[in-house]
Amino acid sequence: MQMSKYTRENEYYEVDDYFVEKIRELPPKLGLDIAKQIDREIQILPEVNGWSQRIAGVSNSLGNPFFFVIEYLKQIEEKPVFLDCEEVDADEYLDYYIEQKVIKSNTNDRKTNRKTIENSQ
């Protein structure tokens, strides 16, 4: 298993070559949006020793929702490793949503913030 290392300020994580392949198979705009979502969430992903985990997300970067699941390993006191990215259907995404295992996209945050501001006026 070949790994690539990425750093940003004090953050440090690795991506498996298979993960990179899967992202590169996507349209560039979509792959970049998924990578940005992961980068924003990396610090708050749960740590579990010995087990890979999965978290779902959605990207609207191409106009229509693209639902996906990221498989990663984040163990206590170790850097996260991203293993896989796969497209899923809306039903599977909703299963993750119900379990509160989803990436919060900027689009959703902006809508929530806008509603909060409108309601407070």
In whole angstroms, what is the distance from residue 85 CA to residue 99 CA?
A: 19
Q: What is the pLDDT of residues 46-98, one digit of tens each?
A: 999 999 999 999 999 999 999 999 999 999 989 999 999 999 999 999 999 99
pTM over 0.75, yes/no: yes
The beta strand positions in the chain, using DSSP E, are: 3-8, 11-16, 53-59, 66-73, 81-87
Total count of domains within the chain: 1
Q: What is the pLDDT of residues 22-47, one digit of tens each?
A: 999 999 999 999 999 999 999 889 99
Domain range for 109 is: 3-120
In whole angstroms, what is the distance from residue 25 CA to residue 98 CA?
A: 29
